[in-house]
Structure 1
Amino acid sequence: MASETMSYAGATVAPAQSKRETQMGLMWRRFRQHRLALVSLWIVIAFYLVAILAEFLAPTDPSAYSARYTYAPPQGLHFISSEADGSWQLGPYVHGYKTEIDTKAMRRTFVIDDSVKIPVQFLVASEPYKLAGIIPMSVKLFGVADPRAPFYVLGADRLGRDLLSRLIHGTRISLSIGLAGVTLSLFFGIIIGGFAGYYGGWFDSAVMRVVEFIRSMPTIPLWLGLAAAMPKDWSALQTYFAITIILSLIGWTELARVVRGRFLSLRTEDFVTAAQLDGASDWRIITRHMVPSFMSHIIAAATLAIPGMILAETALSFLGLGLQAPIVSWGTLLQDAQNIRTLATAPWLLTPGICVVVIILAMNFFGDGLRDAADPHGR
């Protein structure tokens, strides 16, 4: 019997153990070397956590309004305060407001009153609600104990509604539309592009002509035309699903071309021929053998497609042809920023646009890093 160890110069050396690493493990190891993509991943995770925990994180009801504080400026959070006796006190608080009259514009303006301090508390009791529509809760992450006290960390809109709370709830709608739209695009792209690349022939030609026709149409007018075709008497939920389906019907073409190209190169591989000779059905060959072989590329392509879905929803809602009130999304929030005069007096209404820029950049960097990690020929 062969010995399991080898002796060399009086020392016993055990044979090296072969360590097998999965494709996803190799992909993750290479992805971690892309520092910018890794940071972007954590930013994307943070945004989606905000979307999931929107009711808990938002300090007030996004639809609650106060005519007394229309266009109230951001108060800003402070954590260290100086007392009259010269001592220092730790604890979050915001300053109150005082009103002044602008003699030139002849209108009321709000000014931060440094003499008034409103304490901010954590885990504040609130009206009962359901977290994500499932878990009953009656506590908020932070807020003020006195519901009559103003609390506008990011300012208020034209109806005196808290912009921070509306921004948090809008994160859920905008990000979920992107995720749901890409999921449907994945389904259409993999099925249609996969069968086109696997069978080829007239079916492949027909699919490619349809893809080229859709991609040749101007994107913005196509979105506007399909969105304008929706009945005006639809509910907010119906409009939400309609926008998602519209974006998916337009966004599947690029992924279908990617999947078709991969299938054209894979259908002549030995493992596909072996599966055919073994009697496997076409559906099993496609779903169990061909698609998993380049699933990492599909994930990377889907990650890069989500920003396009978010921008599409934001553009439609901003132009008034997408989601409408009372649904709160980044696009509907930006509708208040269309007026130059409004922006001159309330520039904080552009905050949703900053969120759009941040999440788009983060997802693009994350998708680039994922694509580089999934490329077997990359460095």
Structure 2
Amino acid sequence: MSLHSPSRPVSDPAQDDAGRRSSRSLIWRRFRRHRLAHVSLWVVVAVYLIALFADVIAPRSAGAYDAEHPYAPPQSITLTDPGDGRGPGLYAHGYTQEFDEVSWNRTYTKDPEELHKLGLFVASGHDYRFLGLIETDRKLLAPVDADAPFYLLGSDANGRDIFSRVVHGTRVSLSIGLFGVALSLVIGITLGALAGFFRGVVDTVIQRVTEVFMSLPTLPLWMALAAALPRDWGPLTIYFAITVLLSLIGWTSLSREVRGRVLTLRSEDYVVAARLDGASRFRVIRRHILPSLTSHIIASVTLAVPAMILAETSLSFLGLGLQPPIVSWGVLLQEAQNIRSVITAPWLLIVPSAAVVISTLALNFLGDGLRDAADPYGGAVK
């Protein structure tokens, strides 16, 4: 009679590898498999770098204007040797203007003979503080002759560079998204965690308040609150007021999500063990429950930022949000309300709209990828 060793369960190498990995490495590995989210991550990083270094990237300041070039079309750039002693380099073609005194229309045509040399980190004549620390006037890409016209994406009715204004507006629009989400994050997590953990009367009161906020129509409520702001407030005060208003309305969905997760986690063994060990309720929430929600919260925040950006853009577009001299994407889109201006200069609508669409799509795709990767054991890790 032959003796056979007891059969051993066949292990899955993928599951064994997943068990040996940390939760953070598993989340990153699953996130990298989400191709669209991975690309969106780099797009979001690029957009925020543009916002951080806006003063260097923008060829001109947000308010700089040139009355001689209203509604100037985007200039074409060429890398060539003009052969007139200026040497090879990067050049922008100049304009030839024709003004119709009857229709008052100004027509621009490219002048192949007029070339303006561009340079990297050239002096622009407009001083600013780099990152608020170093005073300089250097620009990443600008004409060597500071007085030469340079409109990479066209100009508006006052001859202001649209590219520079969109770059400066990136800082305002994206910072409102971050600050607004940070404030709504604190409110949503606090109320959701308290409702899910204590339940009973606390849960009932918080849920009724949440339902009242969720039942209100969002856009009319934003318009009413924004219209109630005093018109004698300064631009910076209005900026922070709009941020607070958006935050006070945008916490409801996050609160509901946190409440549901806390209701599930409060009965887990490690939470019960902490309670039996004498830990206070707030310590259990802070040290044991909320850390388990970190990945979910990050994904929710990433999805909430584009909603804040769109809210600010909508209010500013309607004239109820930020106002000049503050420059944001919504403020820039105000000029697109005039159909005659759009027909004359379509880049007034296209350029700010493209910035809004690209940023919101990238943030949404990034949020989807983070949400899918938040559960690292939800699928096989290859």
TM (normalized to structure 1)?
A: 0.91
Number of the residue aligned with 1:203: 202
Alpha carbons of structure 1 residues 158 and 210: separation in structure 2 relative to 1, 3 Å: same
2:250 is paired with a residue whose SS is: helix
Structure 1 residue 308 displacement after superposition: 0.3
User: Is contact 1:76-1:154 (8 Å) kept?
Assistant: no
Structure 1 residue 203 displacement after superposition: 1.1
Structure 1 residue 219 displacement after superposition: 0.7
* Structure 1 portions without partners, runs of 5+: 1-15
Deviations 1:306-335 (A, max 9, x none): 110000000000000000000000000011
CA distance in 2, matches of 1:348, 1:18: 50
Number of the residue aligned with 1:53: 53
User: Is contact 1:169-1:329 (8 Å) kept?
Assistant: yes
Number of the residue aligned with 1:79: 79
Structure 1 residue 212 displacement after superposition: 1.2
Letter in 2 for 1:213: V
Matches within 5 A, 1:19-98: 20-80=20-80, 83=83, 90-98=88-96
Number of the residue aligned with 2:378: 377
1:169 is paired with a residue whose SS is: helix
1:67 is paired with a residue whose SS is: coil
User: Is contact 1:98-1:112 (8 Å) kept?
Assistant: yes
Q: Percent identity of the aligned residues? A: 55
Alpha carbons of structure 1 residues 340 and 77: separation in structure 2 relative to 1, 3 Å: same
CA distance in 2, matches of 1:17, 1:362: 31
Structure 1 residue 107 displacement after superposition: 2.2
Structure 1 residue 134 displacement after superposition: 2.9
CA distance in 2, matches of 1:58, 1:35: 31
Number of the residue aligned with 1:182: 181
Matched, 1:107 2:105: yes
CA distance in 2, matches of 1:307, 1:178: 7
* Structure 2 portions without partners, runs of 5+: 1-15
Structure 1 residue 293 displacement after superposition: 0.8
Matches within 5 A, 1:1-379: 20-80=20-80, 83=83, 90-102=88-100, 105-126=103-124, 127-350=126-349, 351-375=351-375, 376-378=377-379
Deviations 1:234-276 (A, max 9, x none): 1111111011111110110000000000011111111111111
User: Is contact 1:372-1:378 (8 Å) kept?
Assistant: no
1:157 is paired with a residue whose SS is: coil
2:68 is paired with a residue whose SS is: helix
Greater Cα shift, 221-230 or 133-142? 133-142
User: Is contact 1:56-1:131 (8 Å) kept?
Assistant: yes
CA RMSD of aligned residues (A): 2.0
Alpha carbons of structure 1 residues 17 and 165: separation in structure 2 relative to 1, 3 Å: closer
Deviations 1:198-217 (A, max 9, x none): 00001111111111111111
User: Is contact 2:74-2:152 (8 Å) kept?
Assistant: yes
TM (normalized to structure 2)?
A: 0.91
Name the count of aligned residue pairs: 362
Structure 1 residue 84 displacement after superposition: 8.2
